[in-house]
Structure 1
Amino acid sequence: MDNIDVIVAGAGSVGVPTAMSLAAMGLKTLVVDGKPSPGQGDNKRAIGGIRATHSDPAKIRVGLRSLEIFSTWKETHGDDIEWLKGGYLFPVYREQEAHALKKLLPLQQQFGLNIDFIDPDQLLQIVPGIDASGLLGGTFSPDDGSASPLLAINAFARKALDNSARFHFNERIDTLLVEKGRVVGVQTDKGRYRAPVVVDAAGAYSRPLCATAGVDLPVIPDSHEGAITEPVARMFSCMVVDLRPGPGSKNYYFYQNIHGQVVFCITPDPPILGTDTRETSVFLPQAAARMVALIPRLKTLRVRRVWRGCYPMSPDGSPIVGWSPEIEGLFHITGMCGQGFMLGPGMGELAARMISGTASDQDQAAMEIFSPARQFSEVREALK
């Protein structure tokens, strides 16, 4: 296949939006993925939360742009991706969480977030029935929301196709092809394709993919489980994030989607490293007990389905986005730490500007934070 400008490895949460943005710029883009259709890896295992509420300026900016894309997609392009503006709520019951969240507010507001610390009475209006015992209040960002990961990724893929991007599904990339220190294409199980730029959007599988080019990328996947309930009458719309740790877990989070189903997830502690996506018997009683303790009225809900996906984690909790310092022409957009769906559209645009050479000064500042060449010794992201 001749005249390919960019090959994107992976048709997931960040690969498809990146291809969409690259193709919109007129770059001849080929996306290769071993699954049968867009978003069939960890994208379809995302629970759908979308926020710009982060602690890092670069992620705030990317998140705000992603929010803009998600929230206006239907009116702009016509596809219903089930966008729901419900907000993100971080209730606090301990002074240490209250102090940490309040400390972040000046920076978050400086970079454009609509967010504030609300008192217990305001919080109870947003989530009626939440445990009021010891409640100190919390932060609420009303412009955050949720959407369907599969509807969104397919809408992005259709737009990419409209812009002449090509997709090869059911085709596994075996090797990144490198000549004289420069990437020249990929070898798949079905053929060989040449291009001057290859985008690593392989998520949990970025490390083994890049190892074929001699690059040791510090992306370590760990497993998280999620679940969805039957639909019920509207109780709340925001994503509720409880930062308190519990036995065998750190935070947990849940929201009621556009159909009235409660979707929830938990962060295991210690992390469950690896790419095992088999469900366990531990998750449901663990997560359900914590949710019911927080909002007792949830106890009668019936769970329809559980699943397990992978978070491609970076050492410091921030994405790894930018040109490889070792292999010329290799561009990483990975290590999203479980936030690939919410950051994907904004990250895709940022990556496309970097690849096309049209990045702004603001983009360059963001890329310094996300750079694959950065030092990973210090955790940056407080809300990862």
Structure 2
Amino acid sequence: MSKSYDAVVIGAGSVGTPTAMYLASGGLSVLCLDGNASAGQGSNKCAIGGIRATHSEPAKVRLCLDSISIFSTWRDSEGDDIGWLRGGYTYVAYDQGIADLLKKILPVQRSAGLDIDWADPDKIASIVPGIRREGLLGGTWSPGDGSASPMESACAFCRKARRAGAEFRFGEAVTGMEIRGNRVAAVVTGSGRYPCGWVVNCSGSRAREVAGMAGAEVQVDPDCHEAGVTEAVERFFTPMVVDIRSIPGSANYYFYQHTTGQVVFCITPDPPIQGICTRETSEFLPLVAKRMVGLLPRLANLKVRRTWRGTYPQTPDGSPLIGRVGPENHIAALGMCGQGFMLGPGTGALVSRLITGTMRPGDSEVLAAFDPARRFGGGEALK
């Protein structure tokens, strides 16, 4: 007879691994299934490591503040060095429309608990030495944001989950679910059948496919983004620098200097490149390099060591889907829109509280904002 679990988590990535960790730490018997060889081997390993609570959606601000609390205290509480660096985030403005947008959402961000302010050009120049001053109107500065290593974090969360009793089965992609009445009775892979009390779907870019196994429909469609990393050099700036000006070929780009001294960077293609292809392109590096050097000329002589491509599971409004969908015991934690790494620990803790009935004040409001059945409209201004 197959062993039964209180919860089966589908996906051992940026969201699934901390979800398994929090559920197991809450006393539940947990099985986490993933088709890859180890934790964090899907989209997680393509993340560049940025962790920000600087969003325009208040619920996302709150959830990422929870994540930052976890990342920033991990070494002291658990002993693992996950590469946390509180370097801050700055969104720079070179045209009045962007400056007005960034200033407009400041009250919303502050009301959600974010430490953020408008910085004049002199302040931005002190935060990012050598930034192009011509046309610089200022920008926002969020000193509490930061970065960490996606792979070190995934491994650390996996180790703690196992210490708490969670089981992980790698190389086992989910192939189906058994439905009885309005519940998922068991999760099925090519190697076994696993009866369960709850299913938490953290399947990333497989969201539509896996939700469909439960008879549920979710509006998640992946697109492709490319990133790169330079050689290591002595530190010359600290924050993640984000430029949301749109030009032909790209909607925005962003970069920061890692704890190792390497500069890590990414760009958002415009129009989006739909699908799950992870082959690098020849267009990416010339496009992003020109934009980065134009903003911070000191980058010009750095050698790029490698580039890579990953997927962003997108929703229509740029916010995740978290909560019940389809069968009454099927919980979605999907559609992170490329922000799964920064949202993951906060999401895992939230899902655990939902399942164990230990909700905190404010949790219901966050779940309402991310309800998979919500009516999509507008969009997150700082996707």
Tell me the residue number matched to 1:351. Answer: 351
Question: Which residue identity lines up with residue 367 of structure 2 in the other structure?
Answer: M
What are the within-5 Å matches in structure 2 for residues 117-128 of structure 1? 117-128=118-129
- Structure 1 residues 273-326: Cα deviation after superposition (integer angstroms, max 9, x where no partner): 1111111111011111110111111111100011000000011111100001x3
Q: How does 1:122-137 map to 2 (within 5 A)?
A: 122-137=123-138
Aligned to 1:66: 67
| Residue 2 in structure 1 maps to residue 3 in structure 2 | yes
Q: Give the Cα separation in 1 of the matches to 2:136 and 2:250.
A: 21
RMSD across aligned positions (CA): 0.9
SS at match of 2:271: coil
1:254 counterpart residue number: 255
Aligned counterpart, 2:368: 368
Report if the CA contact (8 A) 1:12-1:38 is conserved: yes
What are the within-5 Å matches in structure 2 for residues 171-190 of structure 1?
171-190=172-191
CA contact (8 A) 2:54 2:114 kept: yes
- The aligned runs of 1:204-215 (5 Å cut-off) are 204-215=205-216
SS in 2 for 1:5: strand
Deviation at residue 107 of structure 1 after TM alignment: 1.5
> Does the CA-based 8 Å contact 2:99-2:139 persist in structure 1?
yes
Q: TM-score, normalised by structure 1?
A: 0.98
State yes or no: 1:333 paired with 2:333.
Answer: yes
Kindly provide the CA deviation profile for residues 62-101 of structure 1, in whole angstroms up to 9, marking residues without a partner as x.
Answer: 1111101101100111000011110001110111111111
For 1:192, the equivalent position in structure 2 comes to 193
Alignment of 1:36-185 (within 5 A): 36-185=37-186
Cα displacement (A) at 1:132: 0.5
- Displaced runs of 4 or more, over 3 A: none
What's the counterpart of residue 290 of structure 2? 289
- Percent identity (aligned): 55
Mapped partners of 1:50, 1:327: distance in 2: 32
Which residue identity lines up with residue 380 of structure 2 in the other structure? Answer: E
Tell me which amino acid in the other structure corresponds to 1:111: A
Q: What secondary structure does 2:300 align onto?
A: helix
CA distance in structure 2 between the partners assigned to 1:277 and 1:86 by the alignment: 29
Question: 2:26, 2:333 → 1: CA distance?
Answer: 18
Contact 1:323 1:329 in 2 (8 A): yes
- Cα deviation code 1:16-42 (max 9, x no counterpart): 011111011101110000001000000
Q: Which residue identity is paired with 2:378?
A: V
Contact 1:228/1:261, CA 8 A, preserved across alignment: yes
| Contact 1:50–1:145 (CA under 8 A) maintained in structure 2 | yes
Per-residue deviation, 1:237: 1.2
For structure 1, the residue ranges without an aligned partner over 5 or more in a row are: none
- Which residue of structure 2 lines up, in the alignment, with residue 233 of structure 1? 234
What SS does the aligned partner of 2:285 have? Answer: helix
Q: Does the aligned pair in 2 maintain the 1:8–1:198 contact within 8 Å?
A: yes
Who is 2:202 aligned against? Answer: 201
State the one-letter code of the partner of 2:379.
R
CA contact (8 A) 1:185 1:197 kept: no
**SS of aligned partner of 2:168:** strand
Task: Name the SS of the counterpart of 1:16 in structure 2.
Answer: helix
Question: What is the aligned length?
Answer: 382
3-state SS, counterpart of residue 344 of structure 1 = helix
1:314 matched to 2:315: yes
Aligned-partner Cα distance in 2 for 1:168–1:47: 26
Structure 1 position 212, deviation (Å): 2.1
CA contact (8 A) 1:176 1:210 kept: no
Amino acid at match of 1:160: A
After superposition, give the CA deviation of every residue in 1:219-252 in whole Å (9 maximum; x if it has no partner). Answer: 0000000000000111111000001011211010
Q: Secondary structure at the match of 2:264?
A: strand
Residue 361 of structure 1 deviates from its aligned partner by: 4.0
Of residues 77-86 and 358-367 in structure 1, the stretch that sits farther from structure 2 once superposed is 358-367
State how far apart, in whole Å, the 2-side matches of 1:9 and 1:112 are.
32
| Equivalent AA in structure 1 for residue 68 of structure 2 | L
Bigger CA drift: 145-154 or 103-112?
103-112
Tell whether the 8 Å contact from 2:5 to 2:195 is kept in structure 1 after alignment: yes
Q: Distance in 2 between matches of 1:353 and 1:379?
A: 29
What secondary structure is seen at the aligned counterpart in 2 of 1:207?
A: helix
CA contact (8 A) 1:317 1:379 kept: no
Report the 3-state secondary structure (helix = DSSP H, G, I; strand = E; otherwise coil) of the residue aligned with 1:84.
coil
Q: One-letter code of the match for 2:331?
A: F
The unaligned stretches of length 5 or more in structure 2 are none
Q: Which amino acid aligns with 2:253?
A: Y
